Structure 1
Amino acid sequence: MPLSASTLVLRAKQLEIEAVRLMASRVELADLIGQLIHALQRERGASSIFLASGGQRLAQERQTAMGEAVHIASRLDERFASQLEAGQTGQTGTASMVSLMAWVQLDLATLPALRHSIDQCQTTAHDAVAAFSRLIAALLELIFHLADVAMYPGIARPLVAFVYLVQGKEAAGQERAVGAQMFASGTCAGTAQQRVQQLVEAQQRSFQMFERFADPTLLAAWRQRQASAAVAVQDGMRRTLLTTPPGAALVHDDSEKWFEVCSEVITGMWTLEMQVVQDLRKACEAQIQRSQADLQDSAGLLRQLLDNPPPHTHAVERFFDVAEQPAAAPVLPGMPDAANGPADVHATTVTSLERLLRQQSARLAQTEVELDAARRALKERKVIERAKNALMARMGLSEDAAFRALQKASMDNNRRLADIAEATLSLTGLALPPQDDDRHQD
């Protein structure tokens, strides 16, 4: 039996609602991943001090963070299972997203062994930080893929803001761990000092993008937190880390103070992260309600069309009715006919259709620019990251040096950074000579 037009129109609107509900489901998954990242960040920082101090500092803090991370990881495992079950209805996501879920599960499976080696102080603070950071990087990549499917500006913009806030917060978490390791060891290591500087710059880049997509309320809250006393104290201690000559002594006891003040700053970011999630939930629900209202309007319009066929249909029916004597051949609504002259056509149905089309066109025109900006930001991030990785692999640059090389090329050629990144990826050989002090050092 062939499908009717009304069935197709209604089904299209229902699919739109299902797509928004799917987006809402992915927001919940991103929230849960964000919670796990937050717990792992705290465990990483405490583990760094624990190991650098020979197991003497932050043992209880580490155990608390570890317990929270284990609990959230269990919830995430259940969520992954439900996402795969939903795959029967097409809700799992892309193949790359499922592969990232598998990668995350593999990394989570290594945590018990890592934690045991930390318990026994059988690994270094640096290696522990690197292991935690590798897992968190996979979780961040999964959040990025979840964000790459937003369809509406009310969802897309806060979701992009969420991605960059979480990314900047992770750089802040890495800075907390590296700085804690430096203070707890009592010595300023030049390589660690360089990493701190690079992490500060990474935060600046991420937070610039966050500010671009944050709504005014969120942006005001962010700037207020940036003016807090904790940020000022962190800046002072950060200057100590960055200006102390390599090999010079640092104050052991400052490790816990550094951890506490960084944790306060990161907790502020976490509060904003939860606020963005709440905004995303509201945006998804609002979009669902709008779509449901559209569905009801569409259903009413279709009933009106079925119950009140266009005037021309009536005219044709009367023309071919054997019980009637037609006065003239039927004509389209609004055209004069031979019997009655100019027609005063009641065009309620046509007007309703036109009004609906105008509303849809206006809404599309209003949202297209915002959607394009969100999509472009996500796409450019991918291109820039790939270009950085290409420079690092081909020329032995550190991540920060690779980014600076792209920035310099952008300024020298007066071209957008994303355009330079695309050009870099298209080159078979690179004309950017690495400088000795920019090479990655371990």
Structure 2
Amino acid sequence: MAATCMIHQLQRERGTANVYLGSKGTAYKAHLPLQFKHTSDAEEALRARLKSKFLSSDSMHTQVRLLTSITLASQCLDQLPTLRKQIQKQDVTPLKSTDAYCRLIGKIINLIFEAADVSNDASITKTLVALFNFIQGKELAGQERALGAIGFSQQQKDQNILSKMQELERAQHDIFERFLEFAAADEQSVWKTLKQSELTSDINKLRTMFKALSETNSYTPELGEVWYEVATKRIDGLQNIENMLTSRLMEQVQVRIEEAKGEISNHNVLMEKIAEDNTVDSSFNMLFDHQFSGLHGIEMGVLEQQEREVRTGHKSFYDLICEQANHINHMTNELENVKRALHEQKVIGRAKILLMQSSKIGEQQAHQLLQKTAMSQNQTLIEVANNIVAKVANI
């Protein structure tokens, strides 16, 4: 999937740039242009994919919100060369560089979110929601890697970085829990293995070390490189799960395409059979089909038996209609359940942004405030979020 590949390369570029900037240009000097090249290759593939899939004359049905997301992401990508020049000249601070990369990655992640909203297949939408949440969690892990690279490399105490890293650690836990709600058993198993691995243990040790060093102000540039390498290995492990999700998504799409082809073929055969059937019993009337409710309390036993004995061309055609209606209703119910979860994430995200803007707090603090309010008012998180969004809409 071109979008996930682009996000992964941008995350690598962000971390590489932070080690380079944090060390005043002494570390990763040779790595930087090579990573720029990897990201540019991924960008080229993403742009080509977006153009062929959503921006061609055959894709005019694409929803406006998705097209807007594509436009914003493309405009941000256009500014990437300028950011790279600033990084190479060390004309930008590590934190400002991180902020810029986070903003760009966020725009591309939003493409996946909007794509999930466009999907009309329940199983595909469920996988997209799992993928979206996982990519968000992986991005938070990337931000933690970026801030840790800054903190370890700059050789000076920065309490703000420590606090932000701790917020990111908590936020990762919450969002990966949401991913697990929609993930398949195989993905859940690999996630469990990663959490129990030596790699995760090493990350936790470095987190503890960063906290201890912040009290003694004993950072060295070498620790920045160690942190980046270990954090990168962890993110590569996350990338394996992300690849599993994207592979499953592609398989589901292909299966659905083949199923649709089979359904069309079967329906064509049935329609031809119905058209050739000369034994139509015109006495059959859909208004007397007792599988649907009619007069309340009427005895259906005899009528249903008579109904089952009627097997005409019209009845076959009607069976086809009923079968399709039942299938559509079933798929609609499944899709609505997944879409509801997707909509709730949007509303909660919107409420957090409003709290961040009004109270001048961070995202994790906004999330904790939502949770605290929900508990105190005996409401669900989505109910509190809906109330916040509604209040702002009425102002």
Match of 2:187 among 215, 218, 232: 218
Name 2:263's counterpart in structure 1.
Answer: 294
For 2:374 and 2:212, locate their aligned partners in 1 and report how far apart those are by CA, in whole Å: 30
CA distance in 2, matches of 1:90, 1:54: 47
- Once the two structures are overlaid, the 10-residue window that deviates more, 349-358 or 198-207, is 349-358
Question: Does residue 37 of the first structure (1) align with residue 14 of the second (2)?
Answer: no
Q: 1:349, CA displacement in angstroms?
A: 3.4
CA distance in 1, matches of 2:121, 2:236: 29
Aligned structure 1 segments of 4 or more residues deviating by more than 6 angstroms = 342-346
AA aligned opposite 1:217: D
Against the structure 1 CA distance between its residues 343 and 230, is the aligned structure 2 distance closer, same or farther, given a 3 Å change threshold? closer
How many residues matched? Answer: 375
- Which of 349, 354, 372 is matched with 2:313 structurally? 349
Residue among 146, 164, 177 paired with 1:177: 146
1:425 aligns with one of 376, 379, 389: 389
Does residue 396 in structure 1 map to residue 333 in structure 2?
no
> Structure 2-normalised TM-score?
0.88
Distance 1:232 1:343 in 2: 67
Structure number with larger C-alpha Rg: 1
Task: Give 1:391 shift.
Answer: 1.1
Amino acid of the structure 2 residue aligned with 1:384: I
CA distance in 2, matches of 1:226, 1:258: 18
Partner of 1:78: 48
Q: Assess if the C-alpha contact under 8 Å between 2:350 and 2:389 holds in 1.
A: yes
Q: What is the alpha-carbon distance in structure 2 between the residues aligned to residue 163 and residue 310 of structure 1?
A: 54
Q: Which residue of 2 aligns with 1:19?
A: none
Deviation per CA, 1:187-237: give whole Å up to 9, x if none. Answer: 231111111112112211210111000011111111111111111100111
Deviation sequence 1:380-415 (CA, Å, 0-9, x none): 111011111111112222222111110101111221
- 1:379 deviates by 0.5
Q: Does 1:51 align with 2:51?
A: no
Compared CA separation, residues 308 and 63, structure 1 to 2 (3 A) = same
Q: By how many angstroms is 1:289 displaced?
A: 1.3
Decide whether the 8 Å contact of 1:187 with 1:247 is kept in 2: no
TM-score, structure 1 as length reference: 0.79
Quote the residue 1:372 is aligned against. Answer: 336
Native 8 Å contact 2:63 2:118 kept in 1? no
Residue 113 of structure 1 aligns with an amino acid whose one-letter code is T
1:156 to partner: Cα distance:
1.4
Q: What do the CA deviations read for 1:339-396 (whole angstroms, capped 9, x no partner)?
A: xxx9997615355446545644554565455423321121011101111111111222
Letter in 1 for 2:356: M
Q: Return the alpha-carbon distance in structure 2 between the equivalents of residues 122 and 332 of structure 1.
A: 82
The 8 Å contact of residues 83 and 92 in structure 1, kept in 2 or not, is answered as no
- Residues 167-206 of structure 1 correspond to what in structure 2 (within 5 A)? 167-206=136-175
Q: Which residue of 1 aligns with 2:70?
A: 101
Residue 311 of structure 1 and its aligned partner are, at CA, apart by 2.4
Does residue 93 of structure 2 align to residue 140 of structure 1? Answer: no
- Give the CA deviation at 1:78: 2.3
CA distance in 2, matches of 1:67, 1:343: 70
Shift in CA distance, 61/304, structure 1 to aligned 2, threshold 3 Å? same
Distance in 1 between the 2:310 and 2:113 partners? 53
What amino acid does structure 1 have at the position aligned with 2:174? Answer: R
- Provide the C-alpha distance between the structure 1 equivalents of 2:53 and 2:328, rounded to a whole number of angstroms: 30
Verify the 8 A CA contact 2:274 2:316 in the aligned structure 1: no
Q: Return closer, same or farther for 1:188/1:297 CA change in 2, 3 Å cut-off.
A: same
- Tell me what 1:269 maps to: 238
More moved, 41-50 vs 364-373 = 364-373
* Displacement of 1:82: 2.4
Counterpart for residue 112 of structure 1: 81
Name the structure 2 match of 1:280. Answer: 249
Give the distance between the partners of 1:348 and 1:188, measured in 2 at CA. 84
SS at match of 2:140: helix
Q: CA deviation at 1:84?
A: 5.1
Q: Distance in 2 between matches of 1:82 and 1:43?
A: 26
| Equivalence for 1:321 | none
Identify if the C-alpha distance between structure 1 residues 231 and 370 changes in structure 2 by more than 3 Å, giving closer, same or farther: farther
State the distance in 2 between where 1:234 and 1:64 align.
Answer: 26
For 1:256 and 1:197, how far apart are their aligned partners in 2? Answer: 20
Deviation at 1:66, TM superposition (A): 1.2
Q: Which residue in 2 is equivalent to 1:383?
A: 347
Q: Distance in 1 between matches of 2:362 and 2:371?
A: 14
Amino acid in structure 2 at the alignment position of 1:75: A
After TM superposition, the structure 1 = structure 2 runs for residues 116-131 of structure 1, keeping only pairs within 5 Å, are 116-131=85-100
Q: Check whether the contact 1:169–1:266 (CA below 8 A) recurs between aligned residues.
A: yes
State the Cα distance separating 1:158 from its structure 2 match: 1.1
1:126 CA displacement: 0.9
Q: Secondary structure at the match of 2:30?
A: helix
Indicate the percent of aligned positions where both proteins have the same amino acid.
Answer: 26
Q: 1:349 to 1:240 in 2, by over 3 A?
A: farther
